């Protein structure tokens, strides 16, 4: 069976947190949210709630049976039954997939989930989540005929700052840069730590023009911010270089899009740093 992706959303957690079997509206919201996800919606849902691995086809069959079991339990008990109760009974007593069931509070589960998809130092999404999310966004782009822009961002001369000020100061700098990134991009954008001093931003439904506006704003805000002992840097300030590529204009798949953004980043660094470079302008 395929490895499952930790892409269950906060929205789903919030919805299930309100489910005590009292309203059909809750299940309607669950189904609506499932329809918005990519190819792994049912397997992600069941894995998130039970940590059981199923293929998407198997998971969908189980989900339909769980909803039927929920209705049957309600009729036998003479009261409404929440989907989490029905799901636990289904896998514990009917299919014996769970030997020692435990009730996990959703806020605790949310923290566990977030720790699996976020970077401990910066609080941004981690590299694995970035890869999964980019794949989902490109599938959405293909479905609806919308572009997706990708930015790869590198902190200029970070090694120099790190060597001069120490690793702790370097970590603080990375965390501060992360805050600037989050405040500058839109809520719909996905900001991740790509690795080391490199970051990535996925911009859904965004053309080249809009992406360039956001990227240049990031450069300007970073250069205008103040950081401890930044006077030792070549420009007396901390700066970033940004490589930009847009799907499907610059690339037709995920690997190529990342490669094009990386090549654009290389051009931005080579041209003098502290600037944005779009791959299509090469």
- Residues labelled as active-site residues: 197
Residues 6 or more apart from 89 whose CB is under 8 A from it? 69, 73
Strands 240-247 and 148-155: antiparallel
Q: Which residues of 120-136 are buried (b: 16+ CB within 10 A; e: fewer)?
A: eebebbbeebbebbbbb
How are strands ordered across the β-sheet holding 148-155?
190-195, 198-204, 148-155, 240-247, 276-278
In 8-81 the beta strands, taken as DSSP E runs, fall at: none
Nearest Cα to 202, choosing from 192, 214, 190, 194? 190
d(CA 260, CA 282): 10
d(CA 40, CA 69): 23
Residues 6 or more apart from 102 whose CB is under 8 A from it? none
- Measured from the Cβ of residue 267, the count of other Cβ atoms closer than 10 Å reads 16
Tokens 């198997």 belong to residue: 58
Angle value at C-alpha 8, between 90 and 243, nearest 5 degrees: 160
d(CA 84, CA 197): 41
């Amino acid at each position: 069976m395929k490895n499952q992706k930790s892409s269950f959303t906060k929205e789903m957690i919030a919805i299930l947190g309100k489910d005590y079997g009292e309203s059909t509206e809750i299940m309607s919201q669950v189904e609506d949210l499932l329809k918005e996800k990519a190819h792994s919606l049912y397997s992600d849902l069941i894995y998130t709630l039970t940590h059981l691995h199923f293929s998407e086809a198997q998971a969908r069959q189980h989900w339909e049976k769980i909803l039927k079991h929920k209705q049957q339990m309600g009729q036998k008990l003479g009261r409404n039954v929440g989907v989490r109760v029905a799901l636990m009974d289904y896998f514990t007593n009917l299919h014996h997939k769970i030997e020692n069931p435990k009730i996990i509070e959703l806020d605790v589960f949310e923290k566990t989930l977030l720790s699996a998809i976020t970077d401990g130092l910066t609080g941004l999404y981690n590299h694995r989540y970035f890869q999964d999310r980019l794949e989902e966004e490109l599938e959405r782009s293909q479905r609806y005929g919308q572009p997706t822009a990708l930015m790869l961002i590198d902190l200029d001369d970070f090694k120099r700052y790190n060597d001069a000020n120490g690793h702790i100061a370097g970590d603080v700098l990375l965390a501060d840069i992360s805050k600037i990134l989050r405040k500058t991009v839109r809520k719909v954008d996905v900001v991740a730590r790509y690795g080391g001093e490199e970051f990535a931003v996925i911009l859904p439904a965004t053309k080249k023009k809009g992406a360039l506006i956001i990227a240049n704003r990031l450069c300007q805000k970073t250069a205008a911010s103040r950081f401890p002992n930044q006077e030792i840097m070549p420009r007396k300030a901390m700066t970033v270089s940004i490589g930009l590529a847009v799907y499907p204009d610059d690339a037709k798949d995920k690997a190529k899009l990342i490669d094009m953004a990386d090549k654009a980043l290389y051009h931005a660094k080579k041209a003098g740093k502290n600037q944005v470079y779009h791959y299509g302008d090469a």
